[in-house]
Structure 1
Amino acid sequence: MIEDWQHFLLPYQQAVNELKVKLRGMRKQFQDQDQHSPIEFVTGRVKPVDSIKEKMVRRHVLEERLEQDMQDIAGLRIMCQFVEDIYQVVDLLRQRNDMTILEERDYVTNVKPSGYRSYHIVIEYPVQLVTGEKKVLAEIQVRTLAMNFWATIEHSLNYKYQGAFPKELSDRLQRAAEAAFKLDEEMSEIREEIQEAQTLFGRKQAPDELLNSSLEDKKGAD
Structure 2
Amino acid sequence: MAIKQWRTFLMPYQQAVEELKIKFKSIRREFKFKNEYSPIEFVTGRVKEVASILEKVKKFNISMDRIEFELEDIAGIRIMCQFVDDIMKVVNIIRKRKDLTILYEKDYITNVKESGYRSYHIIIKYPVNLSIGCKEIISEIQIRTLGMNFWATAEHSLNYKYKQHIPGNLKTKLKQAADTVYKLDELMTQIKDEIRDAQRLFDVKSHIVSNITDALTSLISLGGIKEFTNYQIQLTTLIEIGDINQLNSLLLKIQRDIDKYKKF
**Structure-2 residue corresponding to 1:65:** 66
Unpaired runs of at least 5, structure 1: 209-222
Equivalent residue runs for 1:68-147 within 5 Å = 68-147=69-148
- Residue of structure 1 in register with 2:248 after alignment: none
Match of residue 203 from structure 1: 204
Aligned partner of 1:79: which letter? M
Q: Percent identity?
A: 55
Structure 2 CA distance, aligned partners of 1:18 and 1:164?
36
Aligned to 1:43: 44
> What do the CA deviations read for 1:159-183 (whole angstroms, capped 9, x no partner)?
1112222111111000000000010
| Alpha-carbon separation, structure 1, partners of 2:110 and 2:163 | 26
Q: Render the CA deviation track for 1:73-118: whole Å, top value 9, x for unaligned.
A: 0000000000000000000000000000001000011100000000
Encode CA deviations 1:1-41: one digit per residue, 9 max, x unaligned. Answer: 56611010010000000000000000000001111100000
What is the DSSP-based 3-state SS (H/G/I as helix, E as strand, rest coil) of the residue aligned with 2:112?
Answer: coil
SS of residue paired to 1:205: helix
Q: Which runs of 5+ in 2 are unaligned?
A: 211-264
Which stretches of structure 1, 4 residues or more, deviate above 4 A after TM superposition? Answer: none
Correspondences of 1:142-161 after superposition (within 5 Å): 142-161=143-162
Q: Quick check: which has more Rg, 1 or 2?
A: 2
1:134-161 per-position Cα deviation (integer Å, ceiling 9, x unaligned): 0000000000000000000010001111
Q: Which has the higher contact order (CA 8 A, sep 6+)?
A: 1
Q: Give the whole-Å Cα distance in 1 for the aligned partners of 2:111 and 2:79.
A: 19
Aligned residues: 208
Amino acid in structure 2 at the alignment position of 1:170: K
* Alignment-derived partner of residue 32 in structure 1: 33
Structure with bigger helix share is 2
Measured in 1, the distance between the counterparts of 2:35 and 2:206 equals 13
Residue aligning to 1:20: 21
Residues 1:167 and 2:152 are matched in the alignment: no
> How far does residue 204 in structure 1 lie from its aligned partner after superposition?
1.5
Per-residue CA distance 1:172-203 (angstroms, 9 max, x = gap): 00000000001000000011111111111111
Letter of the structure 1 residue corresponding to residue 69 of structure 2: Q
Amino acid in the other structure paired with 1:164: H
- Which amino acid in the other structure matches residue 62 of structure 1? S
